[in-house]
Amino acid sequence: MKLSSFGQKFTADAGITSLMDDLGNALASGDDLIMMGGGNPGHIPAVQERFRAILSELATDEAAFRRLIGIYDPPQGEKHFIGALASLLNREYGWGLTADNIALTNGSQAAFFMLFNMFAGDYPDGHRKHVLLPLAPEYIGYADAGISPELFRAVKPEISFTDAHEFKYRVDFDALDITADTGAICVSRPTNPTGNVITDEEMARLEALARTHNVPLIVDGAYGTPFPSLLFVDATPRWNEQIVLCLSLSKFGLPAARTGIVIAAEPIIKALSGINAIMNLATGSFGAMMAEPLVSSGEILKLSREVVCPFYQGKMQRAVAVLHDALADNCRWYVHKPEGAMFLWLWFPGLPISSFELYQRLKSRGVLVVSGHYFFPGLPEDDWRHRHECLRVTYSQDDARVAEGLRIIADEVLKIHAEAG
């Protein structure tokens, strides 16, 4: 079979493909694997009960049920949800949104594919522009989302040590190089994979740079504020027409509904809606209609802050305690300061093997994690040994299984050091 350049690119090996294959195959096999690789959210009883009640109401309301399954939404997305969301955000934050500032997509991944290729890649005047990632490591799903080659430029972070076995990445503003070939700046907050939360001051500086250079600042808030609020430190919600804010219903508890939300200036939303029409005809209604009652009432914010965030913060604290117990001071290891999301980012300086080899050894022991080397789009392949010394692990699943998995990781790392002498 002969494929076009597009076909070859999007059928080649990719980090996100490997991750999803691992997850899908593991779940389908029935093997008793400890799933600490993907970003599948935990199952929160209070949230699921609310969705069960809403689904029951939709199923018994003839007009609502017809909208749910039998009517195409416009390319911009489900109008009732969009209107309710604009009203909620204006009421809470005074953003001055209209319905023309919001579009829905079939998941955040689709939103980023469209946005990245709208602002970066080949331009009619012959320029090729890139997306600047001001803080590597970044989300695994960005890496292969560009139609044009070399779509990303990334900047190594500053590293500060915040405890005996804890560190934090910070934006190295002195190293940021925004040029005429920068099409957009993009950052996730909290950051997937590290759980880092860029500070309000860092956000303000990035926004000022974006405004000076007249490029959009894309903020991936899939885990962040105002919902699902997987934030363990203070972070102020912010939007204006310089910012393209991307939200999701997945981590609130609807990952299977594939509902991404883009909040941006009207011309961006109009363009995105046009691409939506070409790629998808219409976006799915299910997630928007399930969440609309919670958005209309504002309950989505209350549940995020009082139920969802504490659920993950407690799991994070228990997972970190297991790590300290299992590794103690028996080797060099650090965890990125866990400020949000649902991941621990582990760094083993001087690890005798690569993180990918460690991933394979752990997989053979029944623990699925993700090798850290996938999370550095936009940096040269062999530019930094650090990228081969890290793992991303998820703590969203059952606490006992997470603890077992972390102890196996610790045991394997100590065994590798012992083998190396």
Taking only the tens place, the pLDDT of each residue in 84-102 is 999 999 999 999 999 999 9
**How would residue 19 be classed by pLDDT, with cut points 50, 70 and 90?**
low
Tell me, what's the pLDDT at 417? 93
Residue 379 pLDDT more than 60? Answer: yes
Q: Does residue 29 register a pLDDT over 70? A: no
Set out the domains of the chain in order of their start, with CATH numbers. 5-43+303-420 (3.90.1150.10), 47-300 (3.40.640.10)
For residue 402, the SS3 value is: helix
Both tokens assigned to 32: 């008793």
Per-residue model confidence as pLDDT tens digits over 149-198: 889 999 999 999 999 999 999 999 999 999 999 999 999 999 999 999 99
From CA 275, how far away is CA 118, in angstroms rounded? 9
Band (16; pLDDT cuts 50, 70, 90):
low
Residue 15 confidence (pLDDT): 56
The answer to which of 8-12, 213-217, 266-270 has the lowest mean pLDDT is 8-12
DSSP-based three-state secondary structure for 347 = strand
- Residue 44 contacts residue 342 (beta carbons within 8 Å): no
Tens-place pLDDT, residues 211-230: 999 999 999 999 999 999 99
**Mean pLDDT across 279-302:** 94
Burial grade of 385 (CB within 10 A; 0-12, 13-18, 19 or more): exposed
107-159 residue pLDDT tens: 999 999 999 999 999 999 988 999 999 999 999 989 888 888 889 999 999 99
CA distance 202 to 375: 21
